[in-house]
């Protein structure tokens, strides 16, 4: 089920390379890499779980509400992260020329389904 949801996000977003469902300890639950893309999404996810955690702490300490979404654009890859629950997040890695808006939309649509299965 999880892999189906990740596949849907990746395959319906131009330029998406991989999708990942992971807990904040950095342990992957499920991942989907676009066929042909060589990309270690699990390494990326583990690194970003640390970042999302510190973002959450910061946002909470500022009373700005919980962090819902984090996007990081680097030279070679863009990472979109959406916090699902206090334990899990979903991430998608995209090429720099990817359709970022579509990626955010697809994550937003996938989130309720993922949350339902996680809780």
**Between 54 and 85, CB nearer to a copy of itself:** 54
* Shortest distance, position 81 Cβ to a copy of itself, whole Å: 10
| Tokens standing for residue 21 | 């469902």
Which residue, 4 or 54, is less far from a copy of itself as judged by CB?
Answer: 54
State the minimum distance, in angstroms, from the CB of residue 48 to a copy of itself: 7
Note the residues at the interface with a copy of itself (CB under 8 A). 43-44, 47-48, 50-51, 54-55, 58-59, 61-77, 101
Q: Kindly tell me the sign of the dihedral angle through the C-alpha atoms of 81, 119, 32, 98.
A: negative
1/109 with CB nearer a copy of itself: 109
Phi, psi angles (nearest 5°) of residue 85: -135, -175
Name 38's Cβ contacts closer than 8 Å, sequence gap at least 6. none
Q: How far is the CB of 112 from a copy of itself (least distance, A)?
A: 17
Which is nearer to a copy of itself, 23 or 69 (by Cβ)?
A: 69
93 strand-pairing partners: 18, 79
| DSSP at 62 | T
């Amino acid at each position: 089920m999880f892999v189906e949801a990740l596949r849907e996000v990746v395959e319906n977003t131009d330029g998406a390379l991989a999708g990942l469902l992971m807990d904040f300890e950095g342990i992957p639950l499920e991942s989907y890499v676009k066929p042909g893309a060589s990309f270690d999404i699990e390494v990326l996810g583990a690194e970003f779980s640390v970042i999302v955690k510190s973002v959450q702490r910061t946002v909470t300490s500022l009373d700005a509400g919980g962090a819902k979404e984090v996007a990081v654009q680097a030279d070679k890859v863009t990472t979109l992260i959406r916090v699902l629950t206090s334990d899990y997040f979903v991430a998608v890695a995209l090429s720099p020329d990817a359709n970022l808006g579509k990626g955010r939309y697809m994550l937003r649509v996938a989130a309720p389904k993922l949350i339902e299965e996680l809780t």
